[in-house]
Amino acid sequence: MHPKTLSILPVAFAIAAGALAPSSVSLAASHAVKRTAPAKAKSETPAQAPLAGETAVAGGAPALAAKAWLLMDFDSGEVLASANADEPLPPASLTKMMTSFLVEQALRSGKLKKDDLVTVSQTAWCRGSSTESCMYLPLNSQATVLDILRGIIIQSGNDASKAIAEHMAGSEEGFAKLMNAEAQRLGMTHTHFVNATGLPDPDHKASARDLAILARAIIRDSSDYYPIYAEREFKYNGIKQGNRNALLYTDPTVDGLKTGHTQEAGYCLVTSSKRNDMRLITVILNTNSAQARADQTRTLLGWGYSNFEKATPFQPNAVVSTAKVVFGKADTVAAGLASPWTVTVPRGQQVRTSVQIKPDLEAPVAKGAVIGKVIAESNGKQVGEAPLVAQADVDRAGFFLRMWQRLMRLFGK
């Protein structure tokens, strides 16, 4: 088994460049004892050539030495800058974002409860391994769903991921089907999961864009559990392990999400940061060290916050347009926003809007019903859209009034 006196202090993960020791991030990570020592250069993967990205900002985005990278605005889901965003690549432990998301949604729906017990099978057990990331769950032991969730997110436990997969779907293969179904539902079109851990498999791939979509879903739909992604350490079975996300120790605006590393995937990082009223999501895939992925994320976040700003096209109570209504006691109804709406645009650029109203809107129309949408564009590129709702009820007209309206329409009046 393994000693229960093992301790990994968070400070050990904030050593190099305000980051972590590279050896601490590996999906096939060394045993916790070894994570306290800085990695040697030989543990790094070959460096990628700097890769410039596409963006609407004049002067372009920074070139990053990663195989793929992306910057997304959380509120709108718009990609602000990216390179190789749709190339399917090995995601390593970034896979576990989907594993944890499915657990969180099962908790949210009541299919799982926080104190449900999960049994650690022979298949899930790490066997005291020093060659992979583990929560170090004892064989045939039981742990609560909430502890398992922390073991997946903070400790990147392969054993925790396999155990919950078997608990929820009977097998890891069955759980992978759930993962792929959820990926399809979210619109992750360049992703295919084979397992719950991210251990290498030729058919196990995800793109930078898809991983950002997943991160956005976690932040949006798992609000009760998202704070776990910012926790710096977790102690279980007498073993304390620190979160491998270096930026949690150096940037107070960062509150998630996940690291990953295998030889095939290189060093990967998905991060979210919120400054004032703007939240940005970054994805870095296949860099050559833990320091590189942390540094590149800092660069991308700094560039994003320096070059983009929030804009409010319309105030919530403003009438955006007027919709025609047929067969109603009123001929028109005001259309406005259902909730506050902001878009993220390059600094200094104007926002233009266009409105699309549903044609042949027929009474009755209920107040709050979606009757169209407003689209925002900046520099010729769509930067967001919002639903327009009826600002009042429109009752259906009586029989004789409807007949009169039909006649007027027949004669084009």
Q: Which residues participate in catalysis according to the annotation?
A: 93, 96, 156
> Is the bond leading into 364 cis (omega within 30 degrees of zero)?
yes
Question: How far apart are alpha carbons 316 and 334 in whole angstroms?
Answer: 13
Nearest to 262 by CA among 355, 198, 168, 188: 198
Question: How far apart are alpha carbons 314 and 320 in whole angstroms?
Answer: 7
Token pair 């004032």: residue = 276
Q: Within a 10 A sphere around the Cβ of 48, how many other Cβ atoms?
A: 18
Both tokens of 245, joined, read 């996300």
Q: Which neighbouring-strand residues pair with 183? A: none
> Is the bond leading into 146 cis (omega within 30 degrees of zero)?
no
Longest dimension (CA), the chain: 88
Residue type for position 181: A
Whether 279 contacts 75, CB under 8 Å:
yes
Question: How far apart are alpha carbons 305 and 282 in whole angstroms?
Answer: 12
Nearest to 311 by CA among 282, 337, 340, 335: 340
Nearest to 173 by CA among 161, 165, 183: 165
352 phi and psi angles, rounded to 5 deg: -110, 145
Both tokens of 108, joined, read 């949210």
Token pair 């902001």: residue = 342
